[in-house]
Structure 1
Amino acid sequence: MVKQLPPRIEVPQEETWNLQDLFLSEADYSAALEILQSDVTAFANKFQGKIETAEDVIAVLKDFEALYMQIIPLGTYTNLAVSVDQTNDEAQMRDSRFGSISAKVGSQLSFVTSELLELSEEVLQSAMEQSDEYSHYLKELIREKQYRLHPQVEKALAAYSSAFDAPYGLYNTTKMVDMDFPDFTVDGQSYPLSYVSFEGDWESEPDTKKRRAAFDAFSAKLRDYQHTTAKTYDSHLQLEKITSDLRGYESVTDYLLFNQEVDQSMYHRQIDLITQELAPHMRKYAKLLQEVNGLDKMTFADLKAPLDATYEPKITVEESKKYINDALAIMGPDYLDMVKRSYDERWTDFAQNKGKATGAFCSSPYGTHPYILISWTGSMEDVFVLAHELGHAGHFYNAHKHQNVFNSRPSTYFIEAPSTMNEMLVANHLLSNSEDLKFKRWVISSIISRTYYHNFVTHLLEAAYQRKVYEKIDAGGSVNASILNELKRGVLEEFWGDTVEINEGAELTWMRQPHYYMGLYPYTYSAGLTISTEVAKRVLNEGQPAVDDWLKVLQAGGTKTPAELSKMAGVDITTDEPLRNTIAYIGDLIDQLVQLTEEINAEAQLAK
């Protein structure tokens, strides 16, 4: 049974991450923050107005990199501390103070980019030839040149950075602090409800009456905050529109895709092709769920119901080690050593507590180790989630060892490939270790419900909705709760057709996704999973050569475009073939589920 979440102070330390690897104490953090501000002032005095030669360029970037390395642990520390307990006043105020100081620092440092771009192409080219270390950074800077504004404008915009981030902060505060979910009742029995317990437990609860009642109660509370949340989101959108117009992009979409290093054709193809061609497969899966669970009708609230609740083992954090290690062993000893360290050195925050951010993420600060946030419920799904986040960790663990801080982060278009790759490795490992029909069905249903439903359906439908939102913003409009509800409902109805009843409350799912405050992020999950599905097939068929290619991709960090990284792994994402292959693979998995269900039912009849 789901229990009320404890306050953070009551959580066992072994379930939490160790932020002392960033700063041993609050005093150390404060001292580092003071040193940073002093060093930034000294840096500006040393270089501002004095960058003229190729040698100057290299010197300023060397010191700029050192400052960047000072900023990263400070920002990571404040962000991670508040993410595990947004009810903590001290963590909130620390995070706000760092945001203000960071904005001031950014404004002071804005001269670097502006002055570099004022130099002639010859000087920049000479610097690139003299320094392999900074050549990629300068190349990307030149690519950005056409969208840069006057140095004083850039300085002013940098000074306002914390204000630009305010909508996301307000969204999280509304979601994790102000929303207090009441208990819900089924057949006279009361059950506790929270954001974490709904998304971690009740949404996939086998008991239909409880699952639907939890969905209704959860949606009712969301509805209370729909107008505030919509206004918050619209503020974020208008800031993006203003920035896009100021910098001279043709649309907000072009502005947001620029840093992803992909064009609109790749963006639209991902959404359009999946919406059209995956829908029939997922409708078949929904019908199977309805049949196996004996549902009177299939509603949106039932889409995460388990296919076989009797095959959903409870897994402890300790037990997860064997699954993770066995599945990821093919990645080699160095990768497995990273996984072992993540457990031994408390890189992961497993706890469930009030005020903790929902979902899961991996933060990978350069110069130290990654940090993973997850709320461990004990379901097998948690193993897939942990493997996913360890995929991010393994990516940056490798990239940081082979690239400098400027070159380590790839395009967000590619960012979800290493994470979903690990999910595929877990799934393939489980499938190869049993011939039991029920176990195989459970594993495949886990792949569909966790890996593909979450990344290829949930996030893809968010992307389709997000595209409609930006069409309105680009046309000079704005959004409110009614508009957002209508857009979300329309996307869901188009995808699920008559197979699934989009019941009241489903339209409010736009309120649950923080990715909308991170640019065009939702569609990149399906892009990453397309790449990782193809690479996982290579690993199954070719073994070590495919793994070696993949490790080289991880080590390349951000030094290549998504298309180039994918090509290194043997996948050509400039065509629609990988995406169509992945959709066909999902369809094949669902056909296998239908077949296995028929065989299991036939065996059950014979046993009678």
Structure 2
Amino acid sequence: MLKRSEVKKEETWDLSSLFETELLFEEAISNVLTEANKIANLHKGNIQNAQQVVDVLTAYEKLHEQLVLIGAYSSLALSVDQTNEEAQMRSAKVGQKYSKISAQLSFITSELLRLDKTVLTDAKNLAPQFNHYINQLIRKKPYQLHPEAEKALAAFGSTFEAPYELYNTTKLVDLKFDDFEVDGKSYPLSYNLFEGDWELESDTEIRRTAFKAFSRKLRDYQHTTAKTYDIHLKIEKTNADMRGYDSIFDALLFEQEVDRTLYNRQIDLITTELAPHMRRYAKLLQKVHGLEKMTFADLKISLDPTYEPTISIEESRGYMMDGLSIMGKDYTAMLERAFDERWIDFAQNQGKSTGAFCSSPYGVHPYILINWTSRMNEVFVLAHELGHAGHFYLAHQEQNIFNSRPSLYFIEAPSTMNEMLMANYLLANSEDPRFKRWVISTIIARTYYHNFVTHLLEAAYQRKVYEIIDDGGSVNATILSNLKRDVLENFWGDSVEITEGAELTWMRQPHYYMGLYPYTYSAGLTIATQVSGRILNEGQSAVQDWTNVLKAGGTKSPVELAKMAGVDITTDQPLQETIAFIGSLIDQLEQLTQEIENA
């Protein structure tokens, strides 16, 4: 694995759009500290009428925009190399400054919520751009603490983030994998190599040996990782109790603007109704690969590994332009910029965050991190992250910083939508049974398996963890591993052997430090599946509806956003239709496999 200094510049992102030099970054930190002092001196104790509400929010909006850029620069620089001590210290410094500013400005929320609602209503009439912010503030009123308590909690901001930082340090800095050996040949191993290559390896002996070696090293760090997670959970539980929420679930779902009905439906329906379809898929993999038994280590393999093509970064650009062109000229212009202006970090290097993500700081363009393996399925990964980028690219053009970000429940709909659009494009442009089987199997293995199985089973496991915490309990490595194993065994039944090490997958997912996040992948893909069907059948009218949804940002609730796109997520129907659609894809895989074998 290369060091960051050894990778090609053209495969890295360009952070100069945030700050061209370190000196400008330092000046920005100094400026926000000064501006925070000005806001406190000018407005603290002086928010009494509608105009004063507008004045303080206007000042805070400008400050918030600068804070976002500073935070993005710090976190993105660290994400590509967690071993970089300069980046570590920069991130720590920003966290400390943020905590200071948050404590200093906590009075804004407290003083606004002490005002009569008529004053807040007058402020909304005076400055409609703050409608959403004020409405969200009013929602929080029942859970607001005394101003001094809020100030104290804000001051602990960076401390409360410590478990997530410790998790990443353990995972990406301290945890080092030894090479593993198969038939006298040595193979390198790292987090990114395992998740990007060895987990997908077609050679059964290499794949299973890599899984054992990977799991063996994870086990060495299980107790530290479990204690880190337990601390994070206790922080969330304490916050929920202090603020008077009925449960930790209600506290975490509050920001998502959905209730436990939508949350539980997503988990319960999928774990029961999708399981039979996915067990069929596992059996198909076992049959095609001639495996004596199907194990957990075999679930990510390709249905036709000898066919899966490789793809260059430049070739991926062509696929993005063609596959997503249905979204219109403005959208494709954004895609062009993403490649031309180096919005995307493709390189694999030591210390880089695993997986892929998109960060969209307000005021500049989005940034995408990906660990490029040259496998064709990266087309779907890149399309997914560009879905996030396109979402915020449009939302930021239409909305202010307070209005641009939707609920977490909806956040994965635009990303998974792009995966569906890419799949539709690929299928429409080929009649080759083998290629069509590859595309459909990739939709199952990448799009639906990743979002409807991997993340959903994480959500089912996570719900069990939070139930323990909500009852006043604690968790350790043994409890977490047992919970994870139970979830996996219940879903896969006797179709897949849950081999030793599978229970440790709870150690691999950073989403557990982001509240109730994992279930939102399937929620987003449910919406995306329905809307992509509309686009296939209705064309540009459905595309325009979807574009309007993206532009709406966070100005509407998830239920309202889905309704704009023609989907009613308050009922079981969209989810059941999506599960049935997955079943139909597996039907097609079985038919195409038989056709190919009989040819």
Name 2:449's counterpart in structure 1.
453
Name 1:266's counterpart in structure 2.
262
**Matched AA of 2:307:** Y
1:568 aligns with 2:571: no
1:293 aligns with 2:325: no
Cα offset for 1:321? 1.0
**Matched AA of 1:389:** E
1:43 aligns with 2:39: yes
Cα offset for 1:125? 1.1
1:279 aligns with 2:269: no
Instruction: Name the SS for the 1:358 alignment partner.
Output: coil
Runs of 4 or more, structure 1, over 4 Å off, are none
Cα offset for 1:128? 1.3
**Matched AA of 1:525:** Y
Instruction: Name the SS for the 1:185 alignment partner.
Output: strand
- d(CA) in 2 for partners of 1:187, 1:135: 66
**Matched AA of 2:567:** V
Name 1:314's counterpart in structure 2.
310
Instruction: Name the SS for the 1:176 alignment partner.
Output: helix
1:474 paired residue among 457, 470, 478: 470
Aligned residues with identical type, % of pairs: 67
Extract unaligned runs of 5+ from structure 1. Answer: 604-608
Name 1:606's counterpart in structure 2.
none
Deviations 1:428-487 (A, max 9, x none): 000001111111100000000000000000000000000000000000000000000000
2:494 paired residue among 468, 477, 498: 498
Deviations 1:547-583 (A, max 9, x none): 0000000000000000000000000001010000000
1:233 paired residue among 224, 229, 253: 229
Name 1:543's counterpart in structure 2.
539
Instruction: Name the SS for the 2:355 alignment partner.
Output: coil
Write out aligned runs for 1:91-240 (5 A).
91-240=87-236
Instruction: Name the SS for the 1:309 alignment partner.
Output: coil
Name 1:428's counterpart in structure 2.
424
**Matched AA of 2:237:** K
Write out aligned runs for 1:354-503 (5 A).
354-503=350-499
Write out aligned runs for 1:521-532 (5 A).
521-532=517-528
1:585 paired residue among 581, 585, 590: 581
Name 1:507's counterpart in structure 2.
503
Name 2:81's counterpart in structure 1.
85
Deviations 1:117-148 (A, max 9, x none): 00011111111122210011101100110000
State TM-score, norm by structure 1.
0.98
What is the alpha-carbon root mean square deviation over aligned residues? 0.4
Instruction: Name the SS for the 1:278 alignment partner.
Output: helix
- d(CA) in 2 for partners of 1:474, 1:544: 47
Deviations 1:214-258 (A, max 9, x none): 000000000000000000000000000000000000111000000
State TM-score, norm by structure 2.
1.00
- d(CA) in 1 for partners of 2:279, 2:17: 47
Equivalent residue pairs, number: 599
Cα offset for 1:311? 1.4
Deviations 1:61-116 (A, max 9, x none): 00110000110110000000000000000000000011001100100010000000
- d(CA) in 2 for partners of 1:380, 1:465: 31
Cα offset for 1:269? 0.3
- d(CA) in 2 for partners of 1:237, 1:136: 30
Instruction: Name the SS for the 1:362 alignment partner.
Output: strand
Instruction: Name the SS for the 1:311 alignment partner.
Output: coil
Instruction: Name the SS for the 2:309 alignment partner.
Output: coil
Name 1:68's counterpart in structure 2.
64
**Matched AA of 1:17:** W
Instruction: Name the SS for the 1:497 alignment partner.
Output: helix
Instruction: Name the SS for the 1:310 alignment partner.
Output: coil
Cα offset for 1:310? 1.5
Cα offset for 1:488? 0.1
**Matched AA of 1:257:** L
Instruction: Name the SS for the 2:404 alignment partner.
Output: coil
Instruction: Name the SS for the 2:110 alignment partner.
Output: helix
Cα offset for 1:347? 0.2
**Matched AA of 1:151:** P
Cα offset for 1:29? 0.4
Extract unaligned runs of 5+ from structure 2. Answer: none
- d(CA) in 2 for partners of 1:20, 1:407: 26
Instruction: Name the SS for the 2:181 alignment partner.
Output: strand
